[in-house]
Structure 1
Amino acid sequence: MSTTGRSPGPRSTATSGSWLRFRPPRYGFGGGPIGRLPEPVGDALAQATIDSAYGAGIRYFDTAPRHGLGASERRLGEALSRHPRRDYLVSTRAGELIVDGKLEYDFSADGLLRSLAASLDRMGLEAVDLVLVDQAEQCWEKVCPVLRELRDQGAIKAFGVTTRKPDELAPLVRETDLDVVLLSGRYTLLDQSAGPLLHLCRERGVAVIAGGVFGSGLLSGQASAAADPDLVILSQRIAAVCEQYGVSLPQAALAFPVRHPAITSILVGAASPAEIRSDAKLVRQAVPPDLWRELSDQGLINAV
């Protein structure tokens, strides 16, 4: 096994995403909310929500041990067991161990493999398609060789990292052969701070999955009282422009990230069948290009 996190050789660049090594479906289901559903209704509601996502055509499902301390993985596995394995993709996190009912991080080779084995057991799967690692910026030298070997052996299709700090991730994208970046809340209608990283990912052939597209609820009408006042004002200004074009704010929030050529997929979390059906309906509705031009002209979003 290689002992370095750097790429074993040069990686070609291109200007089209058609050559990506791994391309997830355009829309995916984020499994965080179903992990937090309380009992006694949690299991049944999670099953119904996942069934609704599948019925709406979603075939990519993301989860993690930390979501409900394994509940999300278990519930997802139970729901997906009714469908042919070849028909959907699953991603989870490695390095997240549940020990005595508590979450522990272990990014050693042993920790990564044990956490992945536990995840597979909870989901009832023989393999996942994509393995992601959170908080990887400081430990990538030991993480990358393990995940690369799993990929090269065919145990997984791809590996990557999740981040809320796009500036810190640039060296990993530039110097290693990771396949995927899951970007949480850093390329939305309210925050385009990941722009430089997206450009680099496109150059390096790295697929980008956008999560947190609703801006902590500000773009879906579920903002908390503690929301940043400046972002509240920005969301209101964007909503006013959207209304002029007959587009709802949640509809625009779902459509915005995939305008960028580096972003292959978005994740949408849901805790009820009605919620996922609503989101699935929104992503099928076209957004007029003039809306994006107007928002850009008013300085409310950055040009792509």
Structure 2
Amino acid sequence: MHEHRLRTGARLTELGLGAAQLGNLYRRTTDEEARDAVDAAWDAGIRYFDTAPHYGLGLSERRLGAALADRPRDEYVLSTKVGRALVPTPDRAHLRDDDGFDVPAQFRREWDFTRDGVLRSLEGSLGRLGTDRVDVVYLHDPDAHWAEASTSGIDTLVELRDQGVVSAVGVGMNQSAMLAWFVRETDVDVVMCAGRFTLVDRAALADLLPAALDRGVSVVAAAVYNSGLLAGPRPRPDARYDYEQAPADVLDRVHRIADVAEPFGITVPELAAQYPLRHDAVASVVLGMRTAAHVTANTARMTSAVPSELWDELDRLGLVPGVGSEQDRHTGRSTS
């Protein structure tokens, strides 16, 4: 599995395991399924694992930490996030979480990007992960918390990095404009951009990606299937796009992409998984994987040979414009 080095030295495999589903995102996942997924990822060469306290109110971190406990710590990169503190709510433990995860509501999430909040959140994550360090820490979705996130939040992470507590720091969001600001105006090393650099949404090309190239900041692309729209060979009529019903014009575009790809023997999910990595600023694509079967499928998508002629044809037709800064993937940047 090819890797790309962040400017601080941490190395991310081109495919990373996103562990939201290990926190019972939308439905229950068993402990065995979670461990099997991590084991399969390791066997496939994946060495980048991403989680957050938000995912299952800490369940994702606990499961991921347990699954990685017997792996050599220096052989993988682990990232988590801060900004959503978990506050105990024992009076609600008999209820279910109301934020998309099938877990008991024994905690509530409280936005907190203050210095103390960031430090407490990271301490809690270390305990749940069962480790003495994480490699990358992101501010988690600070969209509505600009004042704190752009000052105490990022300043605290930079302080932790400069002290050697963490290797790299950044921000993870579902938008590109604020991420671009963090890249231009703060000392971040990496940002996670969810859903804004995909086959059908390339907003990050206008702001984030040029800024990242200019500042030497790496980008991790997430949510590249856009809520499942791009996860199958053809979208269903009721397919979701960014958590809502996909508009007719978006559905039509995906069908047209599939029409072009099928004669080449390539599917839409293969294109969706690989497209972000065509840009020089992108170091890794993080995909949510609940089971070992998901790992096998996504690894195959990431490693399939997509002909350059197909990308050229999609560009010529205006369906998937070229990224502008593309270089050969395995000679243009530091890899191993």
- How does the TM-score come out when normalised to structure 1? 0.90
- Structure 1 residue 188 corresponds to structure 2 residue 175: no
Note if contact 2:78-2:136 (Cα within 8 Å) is conserved in structure 1.
Answer: yes
2:218 to 207, 210, 215: 207
CA RMSD of aligned residues (A): 1.7
> Secondary structure of the residue that 1:104 maps to in structure 2?
strand
Which whole-Å deviations, capped at 9, do the CAs of 1:244-299 have from their partners, x for residues lacking one?
21111111111111001111110011111111111112212111001111001111
Could you tell me which residue of structure 1 aligns to residue 125 of structure 2? 119
Q: 1:120 to 1:18 in 2, by over 3 A?
A: closer
**Unaligned ranges ≥5, structure 2:** 89-106, 324-336
The more displaced of 219-228 and 26-35 is 219-228
Q: 1:193 to 1:211 in 2, by over 3 A?
A: same
The 1-side partners of 2:178 and 2:31 are apart by 37
Note if contact 1:164-1:184 (Cα within 8 Å) is conserved in structure 2.
Answer: yes
Q: What is the Cα deviation at residue 94 of structure 1?
A: 1.2
Note if contact 1:65-1:73 (Cα within 8 Å) is conserved in structure 2.
Answer: yes
- Count how many residue pairs are aligned between Structure 1 and Structure 2: 287
- Structure 1 residue 94 corresponds to structure 2 residue 82: yes
> Secondary structure of the residue that 1:161 maps to in structure 2?
strand
Q: What is the Cα deviation at residue 18 of structure 1?
A: 6.9
The 2-side partners of 1:192 and 1:153 are apart by 36
**Residues 67-146 of structure 1 correspond to what in structure 2 (within 5 A)?**
67-100=55-88, 101-136=107-142, 138=146, 139-146=149-156
Q: Which amino acid aligns with 1:170?
A: A
Note if contact 1:164-1:185 (Cα within 8 Å) is conserved in structure 2.
Answer: yes
Dislocated runs of 4+, deviation >6 Å? none
The 2-side partners of 1:169 and 1:87 are apart by 29
Q: What is the Cα deviation at residue 42 of structure 1?
A: 1.7
Which whole-Å deviations, capped at 9, do the CAs of 1:211-264 have from their partners, x for residues lacking one?
011121111127348223222111111111110211111111111110011111
Q: What is the Cα deviation at residue 21 of structure 1?
A: 2.9
Q: What is the Cα deviation at residue 19 of structure 1?
A: 7.8
The 1-side partners of 2:79 and 2:86 are apart by 18
> Secondary structure of the residue that 1:65 maps to in structure 2?
coil
Q: What is the Cα deviation at residue 136 of structure 1?
A: 3.3
Could you tell me which residue of structure 1 aligns to residue 17 of structure 2? 29
> Secondary structure of the residue that 1:102 maps to in structure 2?
strand
The 1-side partners of 2:272 and 2:278 are apart by 11
The 1-side partners of 2:140 and 2:276 are apart by 21
**Unaligned ranges ≥5, structure 1:** 1-16
Q: What is the Cα deviation at residue 66 of structure 1?
A: 0.6
Q: Which amino acid aligns with 1:259?
A: R
